[in-house]
Chain A
């Protein structure tokens, strides 16, 4: 039997549930943006969404394709210059949750979104860090979403684009990073949280039908498992309906023709 949802939907719904009403959330494009807007349309109607393009308190009706679609500006409380977003809002300590994805993660929640292979002669050149180094340092906490495979969950990053708990055991606190770092990693198999003493990520939840052994196999290091691993409730019909409506409206909007006054 196949599940009536896909892995992206599973992750999006699980991530959305972690956000709370009036939470100030620095949102990245893609899955984080879908999750934050799903939360806004379900249990967190007053969530404050900030995109790094400078749109503060935006309430888009369709998901933006880019970080700065006009929809975000049209529906924002304020649109501010980019240096201000990073200086006053992020570095100023006004962000509750920074939402990050990546190509690679290690056991301490450090992330790579820059290169696979050697930096000077990369096997794969990825887009790069963008806002992530400072989001990871200054948001009160970060949430991370990525699919769990041994290629993504690696013993050693090819490049560190943004710091999680660094070497663990308090090294983050000693570094001068202000925020509390990655408090949760949501994957298509389950959920990881840092252990309080070592700060190493450990498995705390699995989606229905996913065994701990399967998550261990999808992890490129010997995965620590919490004493109690909860079963994460699958998406409800209501959550799926709202999310799919959002995606359907988005696809229609992104395919429409544009007229230009020339």
Chain B
């Protein structure tokens, strides 16, 4: 495990054209890492994520992606992801190939990848058109009962990126709260980059907590606030107002471009991004 700065970690681990999974089911979404990928103008990525969320909207709008594997592409509780829609409906800023699953199908794909199995099984996709438009969805006959069961191929991303609350100095990582498929995506990835809220001497981990031991982690970058505007349970809450505001920012190509220029491309790291969008720091004692 290497403890490194986020810019160095992204420069060293992210290659154009790779399949990259950045997970976090509403919680612990690795926003800072996504922004750094945009700053470094990485391109032709095959992005994988159950719920693309705002971070993939930004990466797709910035032209980083050639393909997207996903199961629900909206702004949760708000509406559409307008940059994703623009890419799918009008091929802007470039065409995007989509591989579409259900949540249960994606979960099975990651679980198979983490388990070193060729495919995952589920009683899924029954009676839907998803299997028609996604040739990856197939079926096997159960050798015991003769039933037909849906299958999905294992996901093995070149690189998985997740955000977590803590790492200790040896590089063991602790996650808690809503975990989504982070553990499965982490174990399915050929390499694993973890951004964390803080480095601690001793993990605050009860027995049976989710700990990724240092030897499954490729690199760790300490990025306080790295999940903002999503959240890190125990550190800060989700900025729902930002998610609501994103609808307006992302609707229009020019507005989106100006926002990205100012706040992502025009900042040299995550702390600068947080300052530029006016997020009060609880560390510096700033008043809200």
Q: Residues on A close to B: CB < 8 A? A: 29-30, 52-55, 64-70, 72-73, 79, 81-83, 86-87, 90-91, 110, 114, 119, 122-134, 137-138, 159-163, 166, 172, 175-178, 253-262
25 contacts between A and B (CB under 8 A): A54-B179, A67-B25, A68-B27, A68-B178, A70-B237, A73-B178, A81-B181, A82-B179, A83-B111, A86-B107, A87-B104, A122-B88, A123-B89, A124-B89, A129-B72, A131-B102, A134-B103, A138-B123, A160-B129, A162-B128, A254-B240, A255-B240, A258-B229, A258-B239, A259-B236
Residues of A contacting B127 in the complex (Cβ-Cβ under 8 angstroms): 110, 137, 160, 162-163, 166, 172, 175, 177
Residues of B contacting A127 in the complex (Cβ-Cβ under 8 angstroms): 72-74, 80-81
Residues of A contacting B78 in the complex (Cβ-Cβ under 8 angstroms): 65
Residues of A contacting B253 in the complex (Cβ-Cβ under 8 angstroms): none
Q: A68-B27, A69-B240 are in contact. Are A257 and B280 (CB under 8 A)?
A: yes
Residues of B contacting A258 in the complex (Cβ-Cβ under 8 angstroms): 228-229, 231, 236-239, 241, 279-280
Q: Is B126 an interface residue (CB 8 A)?
A: yes
The answer to whether B77 and A81 touch across the interface, beta carbons within 8 angstroms, is no
Count B interface residues, CB 8 Å.
73
Q: Residues on B close to A: CB < 8 A? A: 25-27, 50-51, 70-74, 76-78, 80-81, 84-85, 88-89, 100, 102-105, 107-108, 110-111, 122-130, 133, 147-148, 177-181, 183-184, 197, 224-225, 228-229, 231, 233, 235-241, 243-244, 270-271, 274, 279-283, 286, 288
The answer to whether B238 and A130 touch across the interface, beta carbons within 8 angstroms, is no
The answer to whether B178 and A55 touch across the interface, beta carbons within 8 angstroms, is yes
Bound complex: CA A179 to CA B71 (Å): 22
Residues of A contacting B147 in the complex (Cβ-Cβ under 8 angstroms): 176
The answer to whether A53 and B180 touch across the interface, beta carbons within 8 angstroms, is yes
Min CB distance A103 to B, Å, is 11
Residues of A contacting B180 in the complex (Cβ-Cβ under 8 angstroms): 53-54, 68, 81-82
The answer to whether B128 and A160 touch across the interface, beta carbons within 8 angstroms, is yes
Bound complex: CA A75 to CA B218 (Å): 34
The answer to whether B236 and A131 touch across the interface, beta carbons within 8 angstroms, is no
Secondary structure call for the B interface: loop
The answer to whether A66 and B76 touch across the interface, beta carbons within 8 angstroms, is yes
Return the contact of B125 from the options A52, A53, A133 (Cβ within 8 A): A133
Min CB distance B184 to A, Å, is 6
Q: A130-B71, A132-B102 are in contact. Are A72 and B178 (CB under 8 A)?
A: yes
Min CB distance A111 to B, Å, is 9
The answer to whether A131 and B129 touch across the interface, beta carbons within 8 angstroms, is no
Bound complex: CA A182 to CA B223 (Å): 46
User: Which residue of chain A has its CB nearest to the CB of B177?
Assistant: A73
Return the contact of A66 from the options B243, B271, B281 (Cβ within 8 A): B243
Residues of B contacting A125 in the complex (Cβ-Cβ under 8 angstroms): 73, 80, 84-85, 88-89
Q: A125-B89, A128-B70 are in contact. Are A256 and B25 (CB under 8 A)?
A: no
The answer to whether B124 and A134 touch across the interface, beta carbons within 8 angstroms, is yes
14 new A-B contacts, CB < 8 A, other than A69-B26, A129-B128, A176-B147, are A53-B26, A53-B180, A54-B178, A54-B179, A65-B244, A66-B238, A81-B180, A82-B103, A82-B181, A91-B122, A114-B100, A131-B103, A133-B104, A133-B124
Residues of A contacting B130 in the complex (Cβ-Cβ under 8 angstroms): 114, 129, 133, 161
The answer to whether B107 and A82 touch across the interface, beta carbons within 8 angstroms, is yes
The answer to whether A261 and B178 touch across the interface, beta carbons within 8 angstroms, is no
Return the contact of A253 from the options B27, B70, B240 (Cβ within 8 A): B240
The answer to whether B104 and A260 touch across the interface, beta carbons within 8 angstroms, is no
Q: A66-B26, A261-B236 are in contact. Are A161 and B244 (CB under 8 A)?
A: no
The answer to whether B77 and A65 touch across the interface, beta carbons within 8 angstroms, is yes
Bound complex: CA A163 to CA B131 (Å): 12
Bound complex: CA A254 to CA B73 (Å): 21
Min CB distance B223 to A, Å, is 8
The answer to whether B25 and A53 touch across the interface, beta carbons within 8 angstroms, is yes
The answer to whether B73 and A128 touch across the interface, beta carbons within 8 angstroms, is yes
The answer to whether B70 and A66 touch across the interface, beta carbons within 8 angstroms, is no
User: Which residue of chain A has its CB nearest to the CB of B227?
Assistant: A260
Return the contact of A261 from the options B51, B181, B281 (Cβ within 8 A): B281
Bound complex: CA A260 to CA B51 (Å): 24
Bound complex: CA A161 to CA B80 (Å): 17
User: Which residue of chain A has its CB nearest to the CB of B224?
Assistant: A262
Residues of B contacting A254 in the complex (Cβ-Cβ under 8 angstroms): 240-241, 244
Residues of B contacting A55 in the complex (Cβ-Cβ under 8 angstroms): 178
Min CB distance B41 to A, Å, is 24
The answer to whether A65 and B128 touch across the interface, beta carbons within 8 angstroms, is no
Bound complex: CA A131 to CA B107 (Å): 11
Return the contact of A86 from the options B103, B128, B183 (Cβ within 8 A): B103
Residues of B contacting A166 in the complex (Cβ-Cβ under 8 angstroms): 127
User: Which residue of chain A has its CB nearest to the CB of B231?
Assistant: A70
